């Protein structure tokens, strides 16, 4: 799914937790490490960071992008073997883990204009590399995975981004979309939301096109002159209704092993029901140009050189889709470095390997750093190091279809992960430019900022942190650098190195939102308009994204250093005071919004629980400081404390999950039903409030209170294990 998703997910909502300055590392120490071990850790990190090289990153990317690698295809399997070989060559134990999942492939895609002129479509993508024109034939047709087959001829209505408010506008203008094909543009929400809404409004089919205002010439020069989408570029992508549950549609909640019980396809609730397909603006132009009806409002105008009308009238389209829905094998590649001190505490790093086309950015640019991490850890092993905790590296498959590889693995290993997972670190598209961005649970944002201080920004030679905190919210204003990664930022009102909230759109979702594993997601963004098109290829990367493959190295350094911190820390470096502050901000926002709606919710209870949580977090901080000052605690105490710290996030899971979508279980975060990528904070309350069901909202608010209370209890266990705040070492 990747770049586009990831970028939006990273930045669409910023946790206020992300705004503080970095708390001082104790002296020359490292947060989470006792003075006695900090020195060794610093050396370890330094040794690790010397392993990844631009040359190697370039070779990895070259190998990974040699041919398209759609999940479930022989080419995908070849790259699984490649990754397996790299893991093993690095000295790690690794294996391929296969699942059988529902992957639809296109047999035929036709989008013909039949009135007022006849024109056959879609136009093939192409022209990026005349010398290698033969490659183009290997690329899968532009399609939206999980669209049903269909054969519709109908008039067209332009519905802007295809959000509920867009249809409300059309209705007010007296325009009925029933039985029509709606033409919507990419942007503002996960593409799966568009057919979801269109279906509920009675449309007969959906065309989703890439407007040049979004990622084409209005942003900058199109490929190959620049990094943006050329006229025939099509954005492929899944339209699975992922806000219900992620992963294989046939096996919700369980791993898609051969013996798993599977739903009948008609019982699946995440499948769209009207034919939907993506088109280029080359193909959208003759349709839009021939729409009658009223002029579309200013906010609906894109960058094509005419006035957009909403239709219907004049333009009539024949949309024919023939999709082959079949269960196919997919291949995760999993490497495991067993922990020697705390083998039952797992740090998991993941990236998806599958791609819609050549996938240089999405997500080979994250796979190369993952391989860099593997080699770095392998080198440390060779030097005699053994990890304290178990480290797991995962190369996920079928992310593009719906976070499938990661979800099936997480579901299959749900019990073990619930007991053992310390954190899940995700890197989807690792490098599309030079602008660092991260999203995380608030307890991990400080760690990201600390690690970003330890890694050099290749262009400036300063730390990634320094550049990140300077440019955050600023780059967007700079002329000439329209920068996808910064486009969805909250604005410029807050400076600093901000860490966003996790919504959905990449493989952290099953870990965080289904299993309560603390998660983070990171990468370097930049001007990137070729998402999910044939142009996301090696040439693009070498020309625009990371010409010297130095940001790939920086990505590997950050990714691996984070893993090393979490794997080796004496006391896990979560910061729950940050978490408490973030939740306070969320609650203030919620209370304000509820007040605006006139909702009769009482916030006293939840606020008092939050105060308790914050107090416990403060005591934990003091206990950690005391422990650290005293050079450590007895191993059993520390182990008990870490066990509790690991479980705080789990305490935020709702027992029965969210109403109407029980797969999503986190009390604070879920992907928004109408955004899909961006996090909705307190989804249970907000969704009830949006229906004005105040009694349900009050119940959900009480669930948040209970979640906080559980968190407080878990924190208290950690404090107690350390002998209480400010306590001295016991006997």
Q: Does residue 589 belong to the site contacting a second copy (CB under 8 A)?
A: no
Task: Considering only the stretches 16-24, 65-73, 305-313, 502-510, report the one whose residues sit in contact with a second copy under the rule CB under 8 A.
Answer: 305-313
CB 217, min distance to a second copy, A? 5
Cα gap 183→198, rounded to integer Å:
10
Residue 569, both tokens: 């820390």
Q: Kindly state the number of chain residues that form the binding site for a second copy, as judged by CB under 8 A.
A: 28
Contact predicate 502/508, CB 8 Å: yes
Q: Which of 212, 329, 376, 560 binds a second copy (CB under 8 A)?
A: 212
Q: Does residue 656 belong to the site contacting a second copy (CB under 8 A)?
A: no
Query: Which residues contact residue 657 at a Cβ distance below 8 angstroms, ignoring those fewer than 6 apart?
Result: 663, 664, 665
Contact predicate 277/111, CB 8 Å: yes
CB 111, min distance to a second copy, A? 21
Q: Which is nearer to a second copy, 133 or 294 (CB)?
A: 294
Q: Does residue 295 belong to the site contacting a second copy (CB under 8 A)?
A: yes
Q: What are phi and psi of 7, to 5 degrees?
A: -60, -45
Q: Which of 54, 124, 127, 226 binds a second copy (CB under 8 A)?
A: 226
CB 117, min distance to a second copy, A? 18
Residue 694, both tokens: 């105040």
Contact predicate 277/144, CB 8 Å: yes
Q: At CA 682, angle to CA 678 and CA 686, rounded to 5?
A: 90
Q: Does residue 306 belong to the site contacting a second copy (CB under 8 A)?
A: yes
Q: Does residue 482 belong to the site contacting a second copy (CB under 8 A)?
A: yes
Q: Does residue 178 belong to the site contacting a second copy (CB under 8 A)?
A: no
CB 261, min distance to a second copy, A? 50
Task: Considering only the stretches 191-199, 294-302, 344-352, 406-414, report the one whose residues sit in contact with a second copy under the rule CB under 8 A.
Answer: 294-302
Task: Considering only the stretches 43-51, 265-273, 299-307, 562-570, report the one whose residues sit in contact with a second copy under the rule CB under 8 A.
Answer: 299-307
Q: Does residue 300 belong to the site contacting a second copy (CB under 8 A)?
A: yes
Q: Does residue 478 belong to the site contacting a second copy (CB under 8 A)?
A: yes
CB 560, min distance to a second copy, A? 35
Q: Which is nearer to a second copy, 182 or 610 (CB)?
A: 182
Cα gap 430→367, rounded to integer Å:
8
Distances (CA, A) of 105 to 140, 283, 426, 489, 671: 9, 22, 27, 35, 26
Q: Which of 296, 417, 673, 698 binds a second copy (CB under 8 A)?
A: 296
Scan for tokens 């219900």, then name that residue.
244
Bond into 340 cis (ω within 30): no
Question: Cα-Cα-Cα-Cα dihedral of 285, 286, 292, 295, to 10°?
Answer: 20
Q: Which of 44, 304, 499, 653 binds a second copy (CB under 8 A)?
A: 304
Q: Which of 117, 265, 303, 629 binds a second copy (CB under 8 A)?
A: 303
Cα gap 447→453, rounded to integer Å:
10
Residue 519, both tokens: 């998660």
Q: Which is nearer to a second copy, 219 or 445 (CB)?
A: 219
Cα gap 454→448, rounded to integer Å:
10
Cα gap 98→350, rounded to integer Å:
16
Q: Does residue 491 belong to the site contacting a second copy (CB under 8 A)?
A: no
Task: Considering only the stretches 83-91, 210-218, 356-364, 711-719, report the one whose residues sit in contact with a second copy under the rule CB under 8 A.
Answer: 210-218
Q: Which of 294, 547, 726, 730 binds a second copy (CB under 8 A)?
A: 294
Residue 151, both tokens: 């054969």
Task: Considering only the stretches 40-48, 218-226, 326-334, 644-652, report the one whose residues sit in contact with a second copy under the rule CB under 8 A.
Answer: 218-226
Task: Considering only the stretches 10-18, 289-297, 373-381, 578-586, report the one whose residues sit in contact with a second copy under the rule CB under 8 A.
Answer: 289-297
Distances (CA, A) of 287 to 109, 176, 209, 327: 17, 18, 11, 35
Contact predicate 416/592, CB 8 Å: no
Q: Does residue 165 belong to the site contacting a second copy (CB under 8 A)?
A: no
Task: Provide the 8-state DSSP code for 299.
Answer: G
Contact predicate 110/283, CB 8 Å: no
Cα gap 303→306, rounded to integer Å:
8
Cα gap 395→130, rounded to integer Å:
32
CB 482, min distance to a second copy, A? 5
Burial 429-455 (b: 16+ CB within 10 A, else e): bbbbbbbbbbbbbbbbbbbbbbbbbbb
Q: Which is nearer to a second copy, 52 or 527 (CB)?
A: 527
Contact predicate 304/211, CB 8 Å: yes
Task: Considering only the stretches 182-190, 217-225, 459-467, 636-644, report the one whose residues sit in contact with a second copy under the rule CB under 8 A.
Answer: 217-225
Q: Does residue 480 belong to the site contacting a second copy (CB under 8 A)?
A: yes
- Length in residues, the chain: 731
Q: Does residue 218 belong to the site contacting a second copy (CB under 8 A)?
A: yes
Q: Which of 34, 217, 528, 559 binds a second copy (CB under 8 A)?
A: 217
Q: Which is nearer to a second copy, 43 or 478 (CB)?
A: 478
Q: Which of 307, 340, 383, 625 binds a second copy (CB under 8 A)?
A: 307
List residues with catalytic annotation.
Answer: 399
Q: Does residue 168 belong to the site contacting a second copy (CB under 8 A)?
A: no
The binding site for a second copy (CB under 8 A) comprises 169, 173, 212, 217-222, 226, 228, 294-301, 303-307, 478-480, 482
């Amino acid at each position: 799914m990747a770049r586009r998703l990831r970028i939006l997910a990273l930045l669409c909502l910023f946790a206020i937790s992300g705004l503080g300055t970095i708390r001082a590392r104790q002296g020359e120490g490292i947060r989470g490490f006792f003075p006695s071990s900090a020195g060794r850790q610093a050396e370890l990190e330094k040794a690790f960071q010397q392993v990844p090289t631009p040359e190697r990153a370039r070779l990895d990317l070259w190998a990974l992008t040699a041919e398209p690698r759609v999940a479930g295809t022989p080419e995908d399997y070849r790259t699984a073997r490649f990754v397996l070989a790299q893991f093993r060559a690095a000295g790690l134990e690794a294996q391929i883990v296969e699942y059988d999942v529902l992957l639809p492939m296109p047999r035929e895609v036709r989008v013909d204009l039949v009135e007022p002129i006849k024109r056959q479509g879609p136009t093939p993508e192409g022209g990026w590399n005349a010398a290698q024109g033969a490659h183009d034939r290997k690329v899968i047709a532009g399609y939206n995975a999980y669209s049903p087959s269909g054969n519709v001829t109908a008039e067209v209505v332009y519905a802007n981004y295809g959000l509920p408010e867009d249809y409300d506008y059309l209705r007010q203008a007296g325009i009925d979309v029933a039985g029509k094909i709606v033409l919507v543009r990419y942007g503002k929400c996960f593409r799966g939301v568009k057919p979801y809404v269109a279906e509920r409004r009675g449309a007969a089919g959906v065309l989703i096109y890439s407007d040049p205002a979004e990622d084409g010439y209005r942003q900058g020069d199109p490929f190959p002159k620049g990094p943006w989408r050329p006229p025939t570029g099509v954005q492929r992508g899944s339209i699975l209704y992922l806000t219900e549950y992620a992963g294989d549609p046939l096996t919700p909640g369980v791993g898609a092993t051969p013996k798993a019980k599977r739903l009948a396809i008609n019982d699946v609730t995440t499948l769209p029901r009207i034919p939907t397909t993506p088109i280029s603006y080359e193909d959208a132009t003759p349709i839009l140009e021939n729409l009658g009806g009223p002029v579309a409002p200013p906010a609906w105008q894109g960058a094509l050189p005419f006035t957009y009308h909403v239709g219907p009238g004049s333009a009539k389209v024949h949309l024919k889709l023939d999709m082959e829905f079949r269960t196919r094998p997919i291949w995760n590649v999993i490497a495991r470095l067993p922990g020697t001190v705390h083998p039952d505490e797992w740090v998991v790093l993941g990236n998806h390997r599958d791609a819609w086309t050549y996938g240089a950015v999405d997500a080979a640019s994250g796979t190369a750093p993952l391989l860099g991490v593997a080699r770095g850890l392998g080198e440390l092993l060779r030097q005699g190091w053994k990890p304290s905790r178990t480290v797991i590296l995962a190369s996920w498959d079928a992310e593009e279809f719906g976070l499938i590889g990661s979800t099936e693995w997480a579901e299959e290993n749900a019990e073990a992960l619930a007991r053992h997972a310390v954190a899940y670190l995700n890197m989807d598209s690792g490098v599309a430019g030079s602008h660092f961005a991260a999203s995380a649970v608030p307890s991990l944002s400080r760690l990201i900022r600390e690690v970003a201080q330890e890694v050099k920004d290749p262009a400036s030679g300063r730390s990634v942190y320094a550049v990140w905190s300077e440019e955050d919210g600023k780059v967007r204003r700079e002329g000439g650098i329209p920068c996808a990664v910064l486009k969805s930022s909250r604005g410029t009102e807050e400076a600093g190195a901000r860490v966003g909230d996790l919504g959905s759109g990449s493989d952290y979702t099953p870990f965080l939102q289904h299993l309560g594993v603390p998660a983070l997601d990171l990468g370097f963004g930049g001007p990137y308009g070729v998402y999910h098109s044939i142009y996301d290829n090696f040439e693009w990367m070498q020309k625009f994204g990371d010409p010297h493959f130095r940001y790939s190295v920086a990505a590997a350094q950050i990714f691996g250093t984070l893993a090393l911190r979490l794997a080796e820390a004496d006391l896990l470096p979560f910061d729950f005071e940050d978490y408490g502050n973030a939740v306070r901000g969320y609650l203030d926002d919620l209370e304000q919004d509820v007040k605006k709606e006139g909702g009769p919710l009482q916030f006293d209870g939840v606020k008092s629980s939050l105060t308790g949580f914050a107090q416990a977090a403060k005591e934990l901080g003091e206990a950690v400081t005391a422990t650290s000052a005293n050079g450590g605690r007895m191993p059993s105490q520390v182990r008990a404390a870490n066990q509790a710290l690991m479980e705080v996030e789990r305490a935020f899971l709702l027992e029965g999950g969210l109403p109407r979508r029980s797969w999503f279980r986190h009390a604070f975060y879920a992907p928004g039903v109408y955004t899909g990528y961006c996090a909705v904070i307190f989804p249970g309350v907000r969704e009830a409030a949006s229906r004005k069901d105040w009694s349900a909202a009050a119940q959900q608010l009480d669930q948040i209170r209970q979640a906080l209370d559980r968190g407080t209890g878990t924190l208290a266990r950690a404090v107690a294990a350390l002998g209480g705040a400010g306590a001295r070492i016991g006997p």
